[in-house]
Amino acid sequence: MPEQTTTHAPRNSTVAWYLVEMAIYAVFVFAYYLAVLHSSRGWLKQLFDDHKSIYAVVALALIVGQVVLLELVTAGLFRLIRGKNK
Amino acid sequence: MDFPISGTHINPLALMSAGFIIGVLGGFFGVGGSFLAGPALFALGVPMNFVVGTDLAHIVGKSIVAARRHSRLGNVDVKLGLLMIAGTIPGVEAGAQGIQYLKRHANVDQVVALVFIFVLIFISLFVAWESLRTLQLGKRRDLNAANSVGSEHTSKGDVSAMAGVARRIHLFQLPPMITLPRSGIQQVSLWAILAVAFVGGVFSGFLGGGAGYIRMPAMVYLLGVPTHLAVGTDLFEVIISGGYGTLTHALKGNVDILIALVMQTGAAIGAKLGASLTIYFKGPRIRLAFVPLPLLGAALLIYTLITGHHFG
């Protein structure tokens, strides 16, 4: 199995930061899930049934857009929490 | 929650949790995680054609973030990545056509699941064999540093039990010959690059995900690309080829983008944890820790196929 390193203090603080981030992130995701994903089911299904080519482009745009957005949110949270901690 | 596009009913928390676990493992081992994402989606009750297309959509997003990170570290050989795209896209299309054929003529769930199981078991056995052999060679090299008997190197000092294969492929002189200075490769046939890319593309289009489990080792062991560059270049290439795969599978009715989006929310935070966990572990033996993961995916598929039970 992988060897273990010996510095414990930075690890503990990393885990603590991570848990705080995760809690805030969970609230964001829940709100996003209710506001966007749940409400977009209908029109996405309609696009899928009636306009496959538009659906394909929208699907790709959505996944890329969400990833960029989530990356910005998680990076922002990371900076905010660690900045305050310092 | 109902996912009307694929006609499935899955608890979104289960999907997010699956994404989270895949994200942790992906962040930790530096892989996309389709070896677990595909079996997990199938176990949650998603039909196999949607598993393939949806996993491709999921992996595109993931590879954008990861490739950006690797690009900053200088781990992307753009020339090699662009050349590989030319081979991967036809491969993805061939794989996607295979799924369409199975949708029309056979039971797509069973056939794809069986191929998946075979591939996962093979990967696991190969990684175990290669890691153990490389460790043995490393020990022998340490004992006889000046003139080692079995230690072989890929470019830029990577140690691999398979480096001799890459050297033989470099001797294959079918023009046009390509120079890849970034990867430290003086000459390699374009056809060798396209062949590796095409095979990876077929796996990607047929089994979903980025097929990094095939393409990445093939780049290291067959083309002789240094491991860190193979990882970054593979991710860069998956952005384009996976994007194409998402489009072609979506056009064929194989992508449930809602499932991909929900799973991605879990994967994003999991990937951060996985990357953070790497500070707890180090050492070349880490590859051995990867060995049980494809087997876990295979076990999940076998269980779902035999029992028909879904966890969603």
| CB contact at 8 A, B285 and B100 | no
Share of chain B above pLDDT 70, in %: 86
Best B258, B262, B281, B285 residue to mutate vs chain A (most A CBs within 10 Å)? B258
Mean of pLDDT values over B87-103: 91
Mean of pLDDT values over B2-30: 83
Instruction: Tell me which chain A residue has its CA closest to the CA of residue B268.
Output: A70
Residue count (chain A): 86
> How far away is chain A from the Cα of B193, in angstroms, using its nearest Cα?
27
Q: What is the pLDDT of residue B148?
A: 45
Mean of pLDDT values over B20-45: 81
The per-residue pLDDT for range B196-207, each reduced to its tens digit, is 999 999 998 888
Q: What is the pLDDT of residue A10?
A: 56
Q: What is the pLDDT of residue B74?
A: 81
The per-residue pLDDT for range A11-68, each reduced to its tens digit, is 566 667 767 777 777 777 777 777 777 788 888 999 999 999 999 999 999 999 888 8
Mean of pLDDT values over B261-279: 76
Question: Does residue B49 have a pLDDT over 50?
Answer: yes
| CB contact at 8 A, B274 and B83 | no
Mean of pLDDT values over B112-124: 89
Confidence tier at B155 by pLDDT (50, 70, 90): very low
pTM metric for this prediction: 0.82
Is B280–A48 a contact, with Cβ atoms under 8 angstroms apart?
no
Q: What is the pLDDT of residue A86?
A: 56
Q: In angstroms, what CA-CA distances link A13 with A79, A86, B154, B269?
A: 14, 12, 38, 17
The phi and psi torsions of B179 (rounded to 5 degrees) equal -105, 135
Interface of B with A (CB under 8 A): 1-5, 12, 16, 57-58, 60-62, 64-65, 243, 246-248, 250-251, 253, 255, 257-258, 260-262, 264-265, 268-269, 272-273, 276, 279-283, 285-286, 288-289
Is A59–B253 a contact, with Cβ atoms under 8 angstroms apart?
no
**Distance of alpha carbon B56 from alpha carbon B210, whole angstroms:** 7
Is A52–B250 a contact, with Cβ atoms under 8 angstroms apart?
yes
Question: Does residue A71 have a pLDDT over 50?
Answer: yes
Q: Which residues pair with B188 in a beta bridge?
A: B178
Is A63–B276 a contact, with Cβ atoms under 8 angstroms apart?
no
Confidence tier at B247 by pLDDT (50, 70, 90): very high
**Distance of alpha carbon B2 from alpha carbon A38, whole angstroms:** 10
Mean of pLDDT values over B249-275: 85
Share of chain B above pLDDT 90, in %: 16
Question: Does residue B125 have a pLDDT over 70?
Answer: yes
Quick one: B227 exposed, middle or buried, by C-beta within 10 A (0-12, 13-18, 19+)? buried
**Which residues from chain B sit within 8 angstroms of residue A32, using beta carbons?**
265
Q: What is the pLDDT of residue B143?
A: 63
- Highest mean pLDDT out of B102-106, B160-164, B242-246, B283-287: B242-246
Q: Which residue has the higher pLDDT, B281 or B230?
A: B230
Confidence tier at B297 by pLDDT (50, 70, 90): confident
Question: Does residue B35 have a pLDDT over 50?
Answer: yes
How many CB atoms neighbour CB B287 within 10 A? 18
User: Of B246, B281, B245, B273, nearest to B88 (Cα)?
Assistant: B245
Answer yes or no: is the ipTM higher than 0.90: no
Q: What is the pLDDT of residue B95?
A: 92
Mean of pLDDT values over B209-218: 80
Least reliable range by pLDDT among A64-73, B115-124, B139-148: B139-148
Q: What is the pLDDT of residue B308?
A: 78
**Which residues from chain B sit within 8 angstroms of residue A44, using beta carbons?**
5, 257-258
**Which residues from chain B sit within 8 angstroms of residue A56, using beta carbons?**
246-248, 250-251, 255
Instruction: Tell me which chain B residue has its CA closest to the CA of residue A63.
Output: B61
Q: In angstroms, what CA-CA distances link B123 with A19, B33, B202, B295?
A: 34, 13, 16, 9
Q: In angstroms, what CA-CA distances link B61 with B83, B111, B294?
A: 22, 27, 22
Instruction: Tell me which chain A residue has its CA closest to the CA of residue B242.
Output: A60
Q: What is the pLDDT of residue B37?
A: 86
Q: What is the pLDDT of residue A54?
A: 94
Q: What is the pLDDT of residue B198?
A: 93
Is A56–B251 a contact, with Cβ atoms under 8 angstroms apart?
yes
Out of B3, B248, B279, the one facing A11 most closely (by C-beta) is: B279
Mean of pLDDT values over B133-162: 59
Q: What is the pLDDT of residue A68?
A: 85
Q: What is the pLDDT of residue A6?
A: 46
